Structure 1
Amino acid sequence: MNAGNTGGRGQESRTRRRGQGQLEAQVLAVLGSAAGPVAATWVQERLDGDLAYTTVITILTRLLDKQAVTRTRSGRSFLWTPVADGAGLTALRMRRLLDERDDRDAVLSRFVSGLSPHDARVLRALLTDGAPESGGTPVDDTES
């Protein structure tokens, strides 16, 4: 009986295991590459590794609860469409965290005071000019 070997396999398995946020980002990336709404099996086939179908459904359902995807009925199953990409999902999380606090002003103040100078310029430009349609970072021409 060699307990060291059993522990080693468990440790290796835990090391390779992905976190929920990482899986959500991967599922969103796969959905984003689709030409239109797709079935969960389509997503499962394109994900790295061998995730169970039930795991893919769980991740898609969590993303649905977070309003990062939508689903439409197609026969007895659903077709899934992304609403948000990885950046959009992070923004949804940030808004949800902010909404959970009674002291929104204090949270925002601490968040902004911790921004790097570059991030502060980007945020200032976004607040002044609005979000760019591309969803990317606005061009910072203040230093030209």
Structure 2
Amino acid sequence: MHHLGHLESAIMDLMWSRSAPASVREILVGLQPERELAYMTVKTVMDTLHRKGLLIREPDGRAFRYRPTRTREQYTAAHMGEVLASGNDRRATLLHFLEQIPAEDLTQLREALNQAAGPSAGTTP
């Protein structure tokens, strides 16, 4: 997994917000209100994201259209797993994480754990 730089993050945010593949030009236009960027800068970064496995590109005439290889949530979950694996003591890392998150997030975490455990969780044979 690769850590995203500022421009990579901005491009991926735009890509994840779209429901269809995007051209470099479309992403450049989406970035323009906040940044003054050259077309080739955006193209280079999108090609880098493709090489990193975060974007798929499909031919569209002489150019490409790009789309994310996974959702924002899938990317975030993979990143969280990587960070968790980087600690020496996974249990201690999880406990420190749980101490820092708000109560409403703990409720969502409990619900997600129950859902992941499946319908037979908590039942005795």
TM category (shorter chain) comes to 0.5 to 0.7
Q: Per-residue displacement from partner, 1:71-97 (whole Å, max 9, x unpaired)?
A: 234455432102323x55433332222
Distance 1:104 1:72, change over 3 A: farther
1:20 alignment partner in structure 2 = 5
1:43 alignment partner in structure 2 = 27
Distance 1:105 1:71, change over 3 A: farther
Select which of 80, 100, 108 maps to 1:94.
80
Residues 31 and 81 in structure 1, CA contact (< 8 A), matched pair in contact too? yes
**Higher RCO (C-alpha 8 Å, min separation 6):** 2
Amino acid at match of 2:76: T
User: How far apart are 1:26 and its partner, in Å?
Assistant: 2.9
What do you get for the CA RMSD once the two structures are aligned? 3.0
Give 1:61-140 correspondences, 5 Å limit: 61=47, 63-64=49-50, 67-74=53-60, 77-82=63-68, 83-85=70-72, 87-130=73-116
Higher gyration radius (CA): 1
TM-score using structure 2 length:
0.63
User: How far apart are 1:124 and its partner, in Å?
Assistant: 0.6
Query: Which blocks of at least 5 consecutive residues in structure 1 are unaligned?
Result: 1-18, 131-144
Amino acid at match of 2:114: T
Q: Separation in 1 of the partners of 2:93 and 2:47?
A: 29
Q: How many residues align?
A: 110
Q: Separation in 1 of the partners of 2:36 and 2:107?
A: 42
Percent identity between matched residues is 28
Distance 1:122 1:71, change over 3 A: same
